Amino acid sequence: MTRSLIVKPVPVPLPPSALVAVDRAIADLRRGGLIALTEDGVVTALVLAAEGATSEALKRLAEAAGAPPMVAMTGRRATVLGLASGQKTVLMAAESGLTSSHVLSLADPLDRRDPTPDLAPRPAPAWAEAAVALCKLARLLPAAVVAATDRPQPGLFTVGAEDLLAYQQNASRSLRRVAEARVPLEDAENARIVAFRPADGGIEHLAIVIGSPDRDAPVLTRLHSECFTGDLLGSLRCDCGDQLRGAIAQISQAGGGVLLYLAQEGRGIGLVNKLRAYELQDTGFDTLDANLQLGFDDDERVYLPAAEMLRLLGIRRVRLMTNNPAKVSGLAQHDIEVTERVPHIFPSNGHNEKYLRTKATRSGHLF
């Protein structure tokens, strides 16, 4: 007897306070607010997104902290600027003081001004890494203006540095099914969409369940990261739209399976940063080097959300449609068995040839 997939919603538990705190900090940071970071419950630093570093904001930060602002950035961005190498997170101070133009020149590769010449690196404590992680979670440039402080901050929202660093794992493990409906698709009329939401009410991921997959056998599965430009607009810069529609058709033709539509735009850097990367690519950088210029890793995606979604659907073994070995190892790392890698290849066009070539030669994709 075969077992069909589990697609009914289950009650959602109350969100852990740490998840809610991070979600609130993300919202405040995106609005240009100051955030107080704590370690073991004690305020250790104040954080402002580099993108919000106006002169007034820098003054407010310095006055609240009682210390001069510094810039926390990824080691990758610091390497590009020739300021440091071999470190995950770098703190940069300016002996003459930071201005908003200094901050933007350090954080944004599209800002053509050179950084201030009197920059000096400082040891980066754990809270500096957490400040950069917060900017990444907020889908902003991965750089923050920070100032160490031990002053109480009664007027600012506080969040634990350790909670920021653990957020992606904690949010992924808190995913719950919250809705599902039958949605006939052009290439798969027998399809249902199942929505998953983390306990803090954050960004939802979706599963497209096609046909009636048998959980007793490896399920044909595709992990697809959302791509607004390719999936919706038909962009020719990538092959995402072809892969999405092709996977739906292929799964339907095979009799059933699952496509996970993951909220990880631009390999996890967000739509705005992806557009920044596109602008850098138009100046000659390839996909990976554009991410490096921005200060991101080659691929910022995590596959724990996909693994949790599969478990909630009752799937433990998959035949994975992918050209990317990292997806195979990513699922295996989270105890989903990949019994077979199913190639998923589409022809290039005059606009995405370099993109696909970079995937093959530098990211290890198998075409």
Catalytic, 108? Answer no
Give the whole-angstrom CA distance, residue 83 versus residue 143: 14
Is residue 34's pLDDT more than 70?
yes
Q: What pLDDT digit, counting tens, does each position of 278-312 carry?
A: 999 999 999 999 999 999 999 999 999 999 999 99
- Average pLDDT over the chain reads 92
Catalytic residue among 267, 276, 301, 311: 301
Report CA torsion sign: 290, 292, 293, 295: positive
Is residue 15's pLDDT more than 60?
no
Q: What pLDDT digit, counting tens, does each position of 49-89 carry?
A: 999 899 999 999 999 999 999 999 999 999 999 988 889 99
Place domain 17-167 in its CATH homologous superfamily.
Answer: DHBP synthase (3.90.870.10)
Catalytic, 151? Answer no
CATH architecture for segment(s) 177-264+301-362: 3-Layer(aba) Sandwich (3.40)
Q: What is each CA distance from 216 to 3, 17, 153, 210, in whole angstroms?
A: 6, 37, 55, 16
In the 8-state DSSP scheme, what is residue 275? H
- Map 190-242 to HEC letters: CEEEEEEECCCCCCCEEEEEEECCCCCCCEEEEEEECCHHHHHCCCCCCCHHH
Catalytic residue among 299, 311, 335, 362: 299
Confirm whether pTM is higher than 0.85: yes
Domain boundaries of the chain, sorted by first residue: 17-167, 177-264+301-362
